[in-house]
Structure 1
Amino acid sequence: MRVTPSYRGPMTFNSGSQLDPDRVQRRGPGKGVAVGGGIGALLVALFAALTGTGTLDLSSLTDQDQSANAQAASTCLTGADANQSAECRYVATVESLDSYWTQTLPAQTGVRYTEPTAVSFSGSTSSPCGTASSATGPFYCPSDQTVYLDVGFFDQLTSQYGSSGGPLAQEYVVAHEVGHHVQDLTGVLDRSGGQQVGAGEGSVRTELMADCLGGMWARGAATTLDASGTTFLEPLTEQDIADALSAAASVGDDRIQQAATGQVDPDSWTHGSSAQRDAAFRLGYQSGQYDQCARILTERL
């Protein structure tokens, strides 16, 4: 039996905010085969999408999927549910991000925001960018403009990567992936050189910009509104921001490499160092400006 992780610390979602449980599609276990990857846009998936090599089609919902969606529809209804369940927190975070970027993206870039599809899977799943499992971590697939996430990864943030706990640490992960969708809409993924690995190269810059876009959302998160005009989130605390920064730093390439092999190889980096990821999130949070985040693509890191 799969246990959905939950966090019972400070409440970050307004308990009275209303959720649309259908905003996230749910898929049961056993679809596809695991491939390598990690937090952020799964590198293999991103490469496949940018080069046009992704060929897998999304399979139709199974009875198990339909059962999971029906169960979520009866439980993920309010912000109070999001404060108790990681699955519902995923729903609420995506909706908050939709609310934020619908207003912010056209105002700052002139580009209309369209909502990405969001999928919650268990075990493994397939996408046009390839197959994925819990081990690959969350990723965004540009081919179908979909965020894929197994909420079991939230537990890995603390148990495997050493992040502090806290809702905003988990919400940061979702904000980062939706940040890739924003990059897709503004054309960044087509021109960023995301296939080039190594410190200072296109892949690292693309990922750091997504961290920065996540920071932008955090800055405005407490003002995002549900369909009835109720704020999704309560004002963030210093501890909330510390949790998000901890999550960003915990998945830095240098920290992961040091823990895995005892050595750091900047030439193989794909997402940036812990210090860079921390700094990128701070830049977005402090500036609230898309142009500031976009500068990461060209300026010296």
Structure 2
Amino acid sequence: MRFNPRARLDTGRVADRGRSGGLGGGGRGGLPIPGGVAAGGGFGTLLIVLLVVLVSCLGNDGGGGGLGAPGGMIDQGAGADTSRMTDSGRYDHCETGEDANEDVDCARVAVENSLFQYWSDVFTRGGARFRPASMTTFTGGVGTGCGQASSQVGPFYCPADQGIYLDDSFFSDVLEKQLGGNGGDFVEPYVLAHEYGHHVQNLLGTMGKVRTQQGPQSDAVRLELQADCYAGMWTRAAEGTSDVEGVAIFAELDRGDIEEALDSAKAVGDDRIQQRSGGRVDSDGWTHGSSEQRMRWFMTGYERGDLGACDTFAANQL
């Protein structure tokens, strides 16, 4: 993965809260952690936590059923919600694609710029304006529109404030060390694209379809596999995304980048997590889908490149 040195970066939708940043009590209290999940409980419990985060926030943003007919393009206004951001200045030095090639923080900005431009174009072609997600990094803990969250939660999307949150220690401490992922520079872009996929689902009203929360054919699994498919859609088109002056953001994505995304999708499959946590594979407890499903739906988005191909809710078998 290489960025175009001539591309100009826009840091307007990206912020950093620093260590233990946030909103104090969060207004709505802490994120609802289900029973049995203790602090430091590890990534084996993370998928359940993330699902509860998503479901708990559906009613907090005037969304859910209020977003309109599922699958329709909804007019969400023009700008990202930056009202919760208290910026540490972490990204102030990120100005060009060359900065992104040399600095992982600036690479994160470049990926966000590409995701924003791609999905904005998709919505424009569908006849609707696009409201971008904000993207916030933090260390230790953070306050969100969905409440307080710790680094234990991992990268997540909050529908209430339409924000993506991550502590970037997740990639080395959890994805590689705990789950055995191989790492690589396209791992984080895959994860960010997946979370941006949840934002797209929020705008389209798809989150309102979630009724069943566990099991191999559950709505929760369909939601997550669709986000993987959306990540594949963006990956297919990423080299064609550009900055505000029409300069390409990416110089190159190669097959190795796709393999890194697939390896990460494999590492966070429910069956893989169950195995690595020492338990037996029990599909009745799945919330995100198996490794095979996650890889296959990412590739469906990558190979097909359209929203219709990613309609996991219409699929008879996942």
The TM-score range, normalised by the shorter chain, is 0.7 to 0.9
Report whether the alignment pairs 1:49 with 2:57: yes
Note closer, same or farther for the CA distance 1:52–1:231 as it changes in structure 2 (3 Å cut).
same
* Distance apart, 1:297 and its partner CA: 4.6
Report whether the alignment pairs 1:160 with 2:172: no
What are the Cα deviations for residues 57-79 of structure 1, in whole angstroms up to 9, with x where unaligned? x9966xxx54x22x421x21122
**Residue equivalent to 2:69:** none
Q: Residue 220 of structure 2: which of 203, 211, 231 is its match?
A: 203
Note closer, same or farther for the CA distance 1:298–1:72 as it changes in structure 2 (3 Å cut).
same
Q: Secondary structure at the match of 2:165?
A: strand
Task: Tell me how large the CA RMSD over aligned residues is.
Answer: 2.4
Give the TM-score of the pair, scaled to structure 1.
0.85
**Residue equivalent to 1:221:** 238
* Distance apart, 1:12 and its partner CA: 2.2
Contact 1:49 1:143 (8 Å CA) reproduced: yes
**Residue equivalent to 1:26:** 16
**Residue equivalent to 2:123:** 105
What CA distance in whole angstroms lies between the structure 1 residues aligned with 2:150 and 2:314?
Answer: 29
Q: Residue 144 of structure 2: which of 120, 127, 130 is its match?
A: 127
What CA distance in whole angstroms lies between the structure 2 residues aligned with 1:85 and 1:152?
Answer: 15
Higher helix share: 1
What CA distance in whole angstroms lies between the structure 1 residues aligned with 2:148 and 2:136?
Answer: 13
Matched positions, count: 280
Report whether the alignment pairs 1:269 with 2:259: no
What are the Cα deviations for residues 1-37 of structure 1, in whole angstroms up to 9, with x where unaligned? xxxxxxxxxx422222111223211102124678566
Note closer, same or farther for the CA distance 1:60–1:251 as it changes in structure 2 (3 Å cut).
closer
Q: Residue 201 of structure 2: which of 166, 180, 183 is its match?
A: 183
Contact 1:21 1:76 (8 Å CA) reproduced: yes
Contact 1:96 1:224 (8 Å CA) reproduced: yes
* Distance apart, 1:86 and its partner CA: 2.7
Q: Secondary structure at the match of 2:182?
A: coil
Bigger mean CA offset, 142-151 vs 157-166: 157-166
What CA distance in whole angstroms lies between the structure 1 residues aligned with 2:119 and 2:52?
Answer: 27
Q: Residue 309 of structure 2: which of 292, 295, 298 is its match?
A: 292
Contact 1:39 1:137 (8 Å CA) reproduced: no
* Distance apart, 1:120 and its partner CA: 1.0
Gaps of 5+ in 2: 25-29, 38-44, 63-81
Q: Secondary structure at the match of 2:317?
A: coil
Report whether the alignment pairs 1:72 with 2:62: no
* Distance apart, 1:251 and its partner CA: 0.4
Q: Secondary structure at the match of 1:197?
A: coil
In structure 2, give the amino acid aligned to 1:127. T
**Residue equivalent to 1:3:** none
What CA distance in whole angstroms lies between the structure 1 residues aligned with 2:55 and 2:294?
Answer: 21
Contact 1:45 1:130 (8 Å CA) reproduced: no
In structure 1, give the amino acid aligned to 2:14. V
**Residue equivalent to 1:255:** 272
Contact 2:13 2:133 (8 Å CA) reproduced: no
Q: Secondary structure at the match of 1:83?
A: helix
